[in-house]
């Protein structure tokens, strides 16, 4: 058992407490990311508002303070090291604002667009944006396919990210029309099998092929297996 696991096995820390913020700061070191007290304070506000709104509408099944810290916030910021500062980032199926809002908090220079097909989830995203006074970020109730038909957004995003992932092929199909010429797609997944990895080979062939980088990791404290899949045109 790691030191991280030992610390959290015997304690329950409420969201926003000094200990809860410390869990995020320490856990983020796993990804070579360093959120400070101000940023973890913003994470806490996001988390508390998520649970408050969740009492009236179904935003998340994750309500335990530790799981909120790890599965929502730490998992959201795991890809931060591969995202260039000042990029335009699109978060497809953002839900409760993950991973787009935590990434915006962590990397303020990002220009972020959140989209979701659930009107109530977009309302929550807009509430968090207002509450945290975040600039250069917007939330829209729209499908990715419809966004791609709007001229300003076709091939407009440097980074397109998705955590609500049905399949990698489906994500690529949605994201490709929105991706800038030398842009990058990032898919956040749970445990991946060798069969899945083999099935992705077709994404690396043909004139529109992508370079694919797979990074496997375990969530701090909980040990759940995760994967970051980065797809980029050569």
Residues within the annotated binding site for S-adenosyl-L-methionine? 93, 98, 116-118, 144-145, 163
Closest listed residue to residue 20, CA positions, set 2, 6, 7: 7
User: How does DSSP assign 181-224, residue by residue?
Assistant: EEEEEEEEES---HHHHHHGGGGGSSTT--EEEEEEEE-TTT--
- Output Rg (C-alpha) for the chain, integer angstroms: 17
Residues of the binding site? 93, 98, 116-118, 144-145, 163
Q: Residues for the chain: how many in total? A: 234
User: How does DSSP assign 34-91, residue by residue?
Assistant: ---HHHHHHHHHHHHHHHHHHTTS---S--SHHHIIIIIIIHHHTTGGGSPTT-EEEE
């Amino acid at each position: 058992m790691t030191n991280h696991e030992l610390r959290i096995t015997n304690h329950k820390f409420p969201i926003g407490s000094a200990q809860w913020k410390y869990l995020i700061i320490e856990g983020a070191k796993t990804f070579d990311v360093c959120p400070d007290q101000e940023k973890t304070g913003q994470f806490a506000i996001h988390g508390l508002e998520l649970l408050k709104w969740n009492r009236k509408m179904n935003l998340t099944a994750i309500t335990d303070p530790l799981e909120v810290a790890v599965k929502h916030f730490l998992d959201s910021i795991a890809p931060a090291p591969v995202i260039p500062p000042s990029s335009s980032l699109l978060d497809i199926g953002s839900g409760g604002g993950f991973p787009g809002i935590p990434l915006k908090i962590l990397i303020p220079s990002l220009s972020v667009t959140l989209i979701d097909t659930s009107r109530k989830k977009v309302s929550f995203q807009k509430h968090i944006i207002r509450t945290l006074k975040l600039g250069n970020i917007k939330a829209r109730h729209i499908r990715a396919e419809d966004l791609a038909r709007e001229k300003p957004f076709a091939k407009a995003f440097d980074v397109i990210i998705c955590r609500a992932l049905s399949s990698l092929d489906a994500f690529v199909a949605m994201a490709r029309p929105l991706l800038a010429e030398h842009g990058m797609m990032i898919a956040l997944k749970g445990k991946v099998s060798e069969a899945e990895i083999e099935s992705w080979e077709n994404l690396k062939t043909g004139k529109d092929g992508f370079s694919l980088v797979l990074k496997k990791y375990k969530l701090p404290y909980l040990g759940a297996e995760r994967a970051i899949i980065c797809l980029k045109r050569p």
